[in-house]
Structure 1
Amino acid sequence: MPPHGSDNPSHKPDYGLRPDLVAGLTAAAVVLPKAMAYATVAGLPVSVGLYTAFVPMIVYALLGTSRVLSTSSTTTLAILTAAELGMAVPDGDPAKLITATATLTALTGALLVVASVLRLGFVANLISTPVLTGFKAGIGLVIVLDQVPKLFGIHIAKEGFFRDVLSLVQHLPESSFATLVLGVTALVVLLITERIWPHSPAPLAVVAAGIAVSWFGGLSGAGVATVGLIPQSLPSITLPTPDLVITLLPGAIGIALMSFTETIAAGRAFAVRSDPPIRANRELLAVGAANLSGAFFGAMPAGGGTSQTAVVRSVGGRTQKASFVTAAASAATMLALAPLLGLLPQAVLAAIVIVYSIGLIQPLEFASIRKVRTMEFRWALAAFLGVLAFGTLQGIVVAIALSLIGLSSQAARPRIHVIGRKRGEDLLRPASPEHPDDETFEGLLIVRPEGRLFFANAQQVGDRIRELVAEDKPGVLMLDFSRVFDIEYSALQMMIDGERRFAEEGVAIWLAGLNPDVLDYVRRSGFANHVGNDRMFPTAEAGLLRYLASSRAATKDG
């Protein structure tokens, strides 16, 4: 038997068409029903969902760095689009909605392309994982509430999450029994199927069953709302309008950020070791071009979808040929199945949306965050409540603000350790109740700050060091900078001022472990010359040895 990894053809991955053909068709069975459902979430015709699973998917497949990422709309993008279109076209005029959608999608794409040119790929990391967990949970709950009235066959005016809950309860007596039975049946079937057979083509089967029941049972005549007329054609050219650019720009920024964040997350989650690396700035270009081109063909904002990419990977997809197959299936659906799709009950689409939005709500993830870090759990909870209280687009602002506040608070409060030596060994480490026998040295205080020292934390670091000196009363204060990767001008000036004050109190400052950049800044400031080489050491260990040697010499002379 040839060794693993040999050149035997039987051991090479199959990059032929067959695996991607199977993966693309299987993904289409999952993606297309969901794409139509997400279009209804955005308040758009279901055909817009098919358009979004067509042109953007092809463009990303040509430009993206992920081998298997499947690109169309997602639950998060759909609800963000709904919020923005609701403000831009409050009367819901169909023609205005289509134009507004084209403008919003084009803006989203243009922003992503510009971000790629400016190499802003790092922006994907602006939202921390706990905050994103809270944000997505809020989005998931909003989407579920948005779809529940369709399960009951009732209509409520949208006035915000908490008011909508009250309105839903008040309108329950108006429910359509036939709609409720159909919607709940579809919901239960999807939940059970997803539980025992994740990422299966169950949505396609449920859609087919819903169409069949609608056709043979004459449901539209029984008061059950259906999708209605769908044009039997490929998408026509749709032009954005400059008139809406100013109105839609703030929302487009939020949608662009979320599109990119979801795309990067999905691409990285399903990359395998043999795949090329996911390049953030190239992903910005790819998903930006996908949106920009899709805007002219009736698509809504798109991004990489986690669940559909999971389908492609799980059934053996290897390359972006799978996305071409899915896009071809979308085109075939538009051309051949549009009349049948018009019979699909809205309650069935609502059930699909609910099932695939519930996954955004992860109570166990909240519990895990709380177990590790209580503060970040509070951020997640605040992001969750921010979406419910202020709305989805404002929720993005809340999420980013919380992430930045969290980052700032961590940077502004760097850890400052008093250092001791493990007894009997040449090992310096932070003093801890776990190591009560560690040695400290009379007359010497070793302090190790961690992180970047800059204007926001310089005062706090200086105050803490002064407290430690006041408690210990050393003759020598050794600052171990081995964990400080940068020092800003304000912090450097505070250190210089602090050295002068300590000198007046009879405390000598020694510096140890400065990395090349920090050492360069200290030298440029003139502080290195002031301190002198005899008080600067490559490591804290070297400084300790010098102190012990000088102490022994002083004792001997005494």
Structure 2
Amino acid sequence: MSQQNPSRPNRAWLFFPSLPQAALRYDIAAGLTLAAIAIPEQMATARLAGFPPQIGFFAFLAGSLAFAAFGSSRFLSSGADSTIAPIFAGALALLATRGSPQFMALASFLALLVGGILALGFLLRAGWVADLLSVPVTTGFLAGISIHIFISQLPALIGLPSVEGSEFYRVAEMAKHWREANPAAIAIGLGALATIIIGEKISPKLPAALIALAGAAFAVRYFHLEESGVAVLGKVSAEFPHPRFPEIAPADLPHIVGLAIIISVVIMVQTAATSRSFPNEEGRAPDVDRDYLGVGAGCLLAGLVGAFAVDASPPRTAIVSATGGRSQLSSIVAALVIAALLLFGASLLEHVPNAALAGVLMFIAARIFRLHVMRDIYSKTHGEFALVALTMAAVVALPVQTGVSLSILASLLHGVWTTTRSRLITFARLPGSSVWWPCTSSGAEPYGERLEGVLVTAFQAPLSFLNAYGFQNDLRKAIEEKPKLVVLEASNIVEIDYTAARILSQAIEDCRAAGADFAVARLESVRAQEAFARYGVMRTLGEGRLFRSVDEATKALAPK
């Protein structure tokens, strides 16, 4: 049998002989490392979501196996993720008691809905959805989520009972009872956090979180810390669930549908970012839509086995890439290791202290709080930094799903506002050349020359209903100078909609009514050309008024 090039995507991962022997070794090594990273992370994320730790393992198994079957990326790791866990856990806690059978059924049903939406995204080729959230909004959203994680895990870290309610109420309750904090729990939690931080600095490939949990469990048993009030996981069920459809009350369905849309958008953004950060081949665009299908299939499988929605994980994917993984076989190896742990080693998890899991989540919270990105945004644009701060405040101060919804809305409004700021600019010809260039915007005399009676202007954005009226007003002001010829340099008008086409046709007629001829130069976009023909702009423009360059237009139509 001929060997396949390991640098190319390999969809036949089930047939081990079809992979080169060296690639198999790399995948097995990467899978073992991935399992060591995923075991503590999946347990901690399940706890964050309000589930027993083994449910995090089931989510990882579902996400890994489904993505290996349906996804495109060779590196992407799918499973329980701390980005979406606080969102759905906080929202579902308003409908059912966290950890109750009703809560778990709602989370499983939510996973099915999210999986269906992601599968629909694959069918509709909805990769563009990932571009709806700008970097400032994403940064503020992740910062708000990290604060949620920090506040929710602080009681476990210091040995206090967990408290339900808003973030402000939780902080107030902890402030009232801080004298009741357990020194042993604090030592274990901070020790686990310190171990992970030091291990990460030594090498990201080092399973520092697993080492921290193992050391914490040993300390609990050796020093009998349970007798000192240190809470532990307790018995972990090794029973694998039977696939079944979760049952929920019809009255809860409207709440779940809206939440599923929010979760799906967040997963799409994170999946696309992960796929683009770790492409299968350099210079080749990833198949983001196919990866939506892989993660969506993982959500569907997770919902059927009683787990919750899964997501792509950038840190785990980076581990697979850094340790030489060549295919999704690495995720399958990790899944087999975790399945073996559940079957034969569940008793090893009973003495893992909750404070140590809180330390793992604290580290994750610190990692997604992108302080360096905030500093960079602040140094370059205070306006967009305000968007970071507002998004972070909304996610923290409001119910999580409301804050995330407002974050998405803020990103869309920011994009709309940016588009509406586009205005007409004037061009001048560089002396001794045929090049026309934008004039200065400072009001000073432009470096260039103008032809008498000729106005060359440009609109540097797609022309749509969002900015078409501003375009029309700017052009009306410009023709008050009574030019004999107006040339619209249209190289940046890559699209035009029906509203804008009508306004552009009216603007052409306004120019002619004012005694000015009108021409269009450098309409390079094929979509814009088709829109000109479809909406009748070409008919209004007339024959001989569309040119390949401004210089060509002025030579043909400028007054002599």
Structure 2 distance, partners of 1:54, 1:183, is 27
User: Of the candidates 389, 403, 416, which is equivalent to residue 381 of structure 1?
Assistant: 389
Which moved further from structure 2: 447-456 or 350-359? 447-456
Q: Which residues of structure 2 form unaligned runs of 5+?
A: 8-18
Once residues 446 and 20 of structure 2 are traced to their aligned partners in structure 1, the CA distance between those partners, rounded to angstroms, is 56
- TM-score, normalised relative to structure 1: 0.90
| Separation (CA, whole Å) in 1 of partners of 2:532 and 2:297 | 47
What secondary structure sits across from 2:230 in the alignment? coil
1:155 aligns with 2:161: yes
Q: Displacement of 1:337 after TM fit?
A: 1.8
Give the Å deviation of 1:353.
0.6
Partner of residue 505, structure 2 = 496
**SS at the partner of 1:459?**
helix
- Superposition deviation, residue 525 in structure 1: 5.7
* Conserved? CA contact 1:149–1:155, under 8 Å: yes
CA distance in 2, matches of 1:339, 1:523: 72
Indicate the larger mover: 539-548 or 322-331.
539-548
What is the aligned-residue RMSD (CA, Å)?
2.4
Helix, strand or coil at the partner of 1:53: helix
| Inter-CA distance 321–525: structure 2 relative to 1 (3 Å threshold) | closer
Match of 1:59 in 2: 66
> Does the C-alpha gap of structure 1 residues 40 and 418 become closer, same or farther in structure 2, counting only changes over 3 Å?
same
Q: Deviations over 1:189-241 (max 9, x none)?
A: 22222223224201111111111111222222211111111113333445311
For residues 314 and 479 of structure 2, what CA distance do their matches in structure 1 show?
A: 53
Seen in structure 2, the aligned counterparts of structure 1 residues 249 and 462 have a Cα distance that, compared at 3 Å, is same
Q: How does 1:408-427 map to 2 (within 5 A)?
A: 408-427=416-435
1:353 correspondence with 2:361: yes
Query: Aligned match of 1:253 in 251, 261, 269?
Result: 261
Of stretches 511-520 and 141-150 in structure 1, the one that deviates more from structure 2 is 511-520
After TM superposition, list the pairs within 5 Å mapping 1:180-199 onto structure 2: 180-199=186-205
Distance 1:453 1:264 in 2: 28
**Are 2:283 and 1:268 equivalent residues in the alignment?**
no
The letter of the residue matching 1:323 is: S
- List per-residue Cα deviations over 1:429-463 (Å, max 9, x = no partner): 10126984311122111011122222221111111
- Letter paired with 1:464: D
Matching of residues 393-472 of structure 1 within 5 Å:
393-432=401-440, 436-470=446-480, 472=481
Tell me the CA shift for residue 14 of structure 1.
Answer: 6.3
Aligned residue in 1 for 2:228: 222
1:70–1:521 distance in 2 versus 1, CA, 3 Å: closer
CA contact (8 A) 1:153 1:176 kept: yes
Per-residue deviation at 1:378? Answer: 2.5
Pair 1:334-2:342 in alignment: yes
Pairwise CA distance, 1:72: 0.8
Residue 392 of structure 1 and its aligned partner are, at CA, apart by: 2.1
Q: Structure 1 residue 531: deviation in Å?
A: 4.5
Pairing 1:10-21 to 2, within 5 Å after superposition = 15-21=22-28
Distance in 1 of aligned mates of 2:432 and 2:407 = 50
Contact residue 377 and residue 385 of structure 2 kept, 8 A: yes
Residue segments in structure 1 that go unaligned for 5+ positions in a row = 552-558
* Superposed CA offset, 1:124-181 (max 9, x none): 2221222111101110111011111111111253322233223222221111111111
Kindly provide the CA deviation profile for residues 47-101 of structure 1, in whole angstroms up to 9, marking residues without a partner as x: 11111121221111111101011111111122123113312313x3532233223
Measured against aligned partners, the alpha-carbon deviations of 1:290-321 in whole angstroms (never above 9, x if no partner) come to 11112222322111111111111111111111
2:323 aligns with one of 315, 318, 321:
315
Cα deviation for residue 478 of structure 1 reads 1.7
Deviation at 1:390, TM superposition (A): 1.2
Secondary structure at 2:94 match in 1: helix
Report the counterpart of residue 474 of structure 1 in structure 2. 483
Q: 1:280 aligns with which of 265, 270, 288?
A: 288
1:506 to 488, 512, 515: 515
Distance across 2 between alignment mates of 1:240 and 1:524:
50
Aligned mate of 1:125, from 124, 128, 131: 131
Deviations 1:315-349 (A, max 9, x none): 11111110011001110111122112011100000
- Map residues 525-536 of structure 1 onto 2, 5 A cutoff: 528-529=538-539, 531-536=541-546
1:127 partner amino acid:
L
CA 1:15–1:380: 2 relative to 1, 3 Å: farther
1:105 alignment partner, one of 111, 115, 120: 111
Q: Residue 494 of structure 2 aligns to which amino acid in structure 1?
A: F
CA contact (8 A) 2:234 2:351 kept: yes
Alpha-carbon spacing, 1:523–1:267, altered in 2? closer, same or farther (3 Å): closer
Q: How does 1:29-108 map to 2 (within 5 A)?
A: 29-90=36-97, 92=98, 94-108=100-114
Tell me how far 1:498 sits from its aligned partner: 3.0
CA contact (8 A) 1:156 1:167 kept: no
Shift of 1:481: 2.0
